[in-house]
Amino acid sequence: MRSAEIERKTNETDIKLKLVLEGTGVAEIATGCGFLDHMLNLFSCHSKIDLSVACVGDTEVDFHHTTEDVAICLGQAYKKALGEKNGIGRYGDATVPMDEALIMTAVDISGRGGCYCSLDIPTAKVGDFDTELCEEFWQAFARESGITIHIRQLAGKNAHHIIEGVFKSAARSIRSAIFVHPNSSNSIPSTKGSL
């Protein structure tokens, strides 16, 4: 079973994160940021990974450090759990509607992490969550996981719906990419022989 645990402690955050790639979407999330908790619960459900996150952060400042550092830990956990990446699909994509919002995400588990994001979120905040932190989250995740991720907003007017669509479409894309194909479980999906 592919799994990983990450602990990260700085002057800004103290995080314990655990994931199981062959899960059922069970989540235990407590970051101190209600909206981020909601997004991580959605991510776990739609990726079918089991995810546990406990974060104590400097939320009296804002949610920037908590959001970015949780994404760093999530990316590191993915990279660790994927190991040599034997037999994975490598690529995944999903287009997800969330009411009026429509979000497309495509990923490549290439080892060359990068986030290429095109979002037009109409408000600066959802509740007390800065909407610019959505892109910050995925930038940090991509960098640490070695996953290339493209996110495109095809439609949407409601900030909550747009961000929710991002997390759901990313979850479904990543789920497809990490799936191990039984007929190729010992091979690396690259002509180079490594990812």
Which 3-state string (H, E, C) describes 27-94? EEEECCCHHHHHHHHHHHHHHCCEEEEEEEECCCCCCHHHHHHHHHHHHHHHHHHHCCCCCECCEEEE
Q: Is the pLDDT of residue 170 over 90?
A: yes
- Gap between the Cα atoms of 187 and 181, Å rounded: 10
Is there a domain that residue 144 lies in? yes
**Mean pLDDT, the chain, integer:** 95
The letter for the amino acid at 39 is M
Is there a domain that residue 137 lies in? yes
φ, ψ for residue 116, nearest 5 deg? -120, 105
CA 132 to chain centre: 15
The reported pLDDT for the residue numbered 187 is 74
Is there a domain that residue 55 lies in? yes
Residues spanned by the domain of 64: 3-184
* Tokens, residue 22: 């062959």
Is there a domain that residue 195 lies in? no
Strand (E) or helix (H) holding 134: helix 133-145
Is there a domain that residue 189 lies in? no
* Tokens, residue 85: 């990446």
- Gap between the Cα atoms of 88 and 178, Å rounded: 5
Read off the pLDDT of residues 77-93 as tens digits, 9 standing for 90 and up. 999 999 989 999 999 99
Is there a domain that residue 192 lies in? no
pLDDT confidence tier of residue 163, bands split at 50, 70 and 90: very high
* Tokens, residue 93: 């994509």
Is there a domain that residue 68 lies in? yes
Q: Cα-atom radius of gyration of the chain, to the nearest Å? A: 16
* Under 8 Å between Cβ of 115 and 136: no
- Three-state secondary-structure class, residue 176: helix
> What CATH number does residue 39 fall under?
3.30.230.40
CA 117 to chain centre: 13
pTM of the predicted model, to two decimals?
A: 0.94
Q: Is the pLDDT of residue 97 over 80?
A: yes
Read off the pLDDT of residues 5-55 as tens digits, 9 standing for 90 and up. 999 999 999 999 999 999 999 999 999 999 999 999 999 999 999 999 999
Number of domains in the chain: 1
Is there a domain that residue 60 lies in? yes
The reported pLDDT for the residue numbered 153 is 98
